[in-house]
Amino acid sequence: MAVLNNDGSGFRWLTSGANSNAFPSFAPDGGQIVFRTQGPEGQGLRILNLTDHSIRKLTDNWDNFPVWSPTGDRIAFVRRTGQDFQVLTIRPGGTTAKQLTHGTGNNAHLAWSPDGSHLLFTDSAKGFKDEAQYTGSPQPYGEIFLMCADGGGLEQLTDDQWEEGVPPGCPPRYRGGPLTGASGSREFALLDLGHDGGA
């Protein structure tokens, strides 16, 4: 895992060793990074302190896609539980993780709302639709869902033949209506969720 300045300068490595270290997410103050590690040196989530370069173990399960809350008090991530993948949150200090989803299939690709009150994620609960014959995808992520940070208020936002994925959230200053567009053969959409301060 490495870091560089936003102008492309200052490249430097942050981790080394035999493990695969990926999916970094900065703490809101920029002083720490949470990331996923997998390999012979262990698995789970780790927190890297950018001041003293120490690395602290947060979890030791099959965990992935960590995303630090904008409020700094929680980290959302995905955990494999049997054949399923669930959304959980944990305090940065390492208190017991809280499972937010309990369905079957794949939940992944998390994004916080700017105020930390909601989570966006993709869910395979609806299974394959027409998108399977177009993409040949080995697993459906399918639709985008929204829920409160405590796991309540689950709401399905998309339901169509396309495979939506990796919702990045929305800048807090955006207050417009729905936007759609295209890039090459791929479409994108910006959803107005209608929540004060939400995604």
pLDDT for position 198: 40
The 10s digit of each residue's pLDDT in 139-148 is: 555 788 889 9
d(CA 134, CA 173): 36
The enclosing H or E element of 134 equals helix 131-135
State the pLDDT at residue 188.
42
DSSP state of 38: E
Whether the pLDDT of residue 194 is over 60: the answer is no
- Cα Rg for the chain, rounded, in angstroms? 17
pLDDT in tens, 104-138: 878 888 899 888 999 988 887 766 666 555 555 55
For 82, the token pair is 């049997």
**pLDDT for residue 176:** 35
Residue 80 has pLDDT above 50, yes or no: yes
195 has a pLDDT exceeding 50: no
Residues 76, 59: contact at Cβ < 8 Å?
Answer: no
List Cα–Cα distances, 188 to 26, 47, 171, in angstroms: 26, 33, 16
pLDDT per residue as tens digits for the range 152-186: 999 888 877 666 666 655 444 333 333 333 333 33
Q: What percent of the chain has pLDDT over 90?
A: 51
CB 191 within 8 A of CB 157: yes
What is the predicted pLDDT for the residue at 106?
84
Average pLDDT over residues 85-109: 90
Q: Summarize pLDDT for 27-75 with one digit per residue, the tens.
A: 999 999 999 999 999 999 999 999 999 999 999 999 999 999 999 999 9
Q: Helix, strand, or coil here: 133?
A: helix
